[in-house]
Amino acid sequence: AHNQPTHMSTASVESTGVRVQYRTSQERRKDWECMKLRRATLADITDLVRVCNLAYRGGDEVTGWTGEEHLLIGNRTSKEQLEPLLKDTDNHIFLAVDDISTEKPTLVGFCHVQTLTGEETKAEVGMLSVKPSEQSRGIGSLLMREALRICREDLHRDTAVMWILDGRVDLLGWYHKLGFVDTGRIEPFPDISTRVGVPREEIVGTHTLFFHVLEKSLVEAKTATDQ
């Protein structure tokens, strides 16, 4: 996640009912000064699972504007799912730690980047997660900047790919502002065996869930988040 547009205003996000305070560029840079980015390790796995599930499905904190709990139930991820990714050097999971404005270093968000089998020019960005209580600080933008840098400089890819669940209107709008475009391709929501959540009964009866496939060219010298 990790993360709204940077002009200052207050807006009601209708799909989630969450009121969002947007940040100015100056305020966002000040918040970024509190953040340290580093690669995740197995020692972080408990916090990674907690942050991801809070960001995507809510929980004991206020629901964030990026959540999908109105569409799905169950956890987004687990230790069993993250452990092989953390052990695989071809997977890049990196996190943002606030080590200034909190009493002790606190994991506030993370993101996952991986290469795509059979796609020599593309890398996938996923699992962008920011704790709901830490959203609106520009952490999502900071994580996305680093994800795109990894795609471009470390993996030598010229296109970043994302899969965004249909029905997440505000999130799709945010990614469009960052320069991602809808390819027109869709991918079906996986079956229950993947353990990434189960569509709500009221959704199943009226709607077939799927993912929009978005892409962003990394050929330009500057990305939308750099401007």
**pTM of the model as a whole:** 0.78
**Which of 102-111, 138-147, 152-161, 215-224 comes out lowest in average pLDDT?**
215-224
pLDDT of residue 226: 54
Q: Residue 58 above 90 pLDDT?
A: no
Tell me the average pLDDT of the chain. 80
Q: Give the number of other CB atoms < 10 A from CB of residue 171.
A: 23
Q: Whose structure tokens read 């993101």?
A: 111
- By DSSP bridging, strand 72-73 and strand 18-21 are unpaired
Q: How far is residue 222's CA from residue 61's CA, in Å, rounded to a whole number?
A: 35
Residue 64 · residue 130 · CB < 8 Å: yes
Q: Which pLDDT tens digit goes with each residue over 170-197? A: 889 999 999 999 999 999 988 765 677 8
Q: Residue 32 above 70 pLDDT?
A: no
CA Rg value for the chain? 17
Region of 74 (left: φ > 0; alpha: ψ -120 to 50; beta: rest) is: left
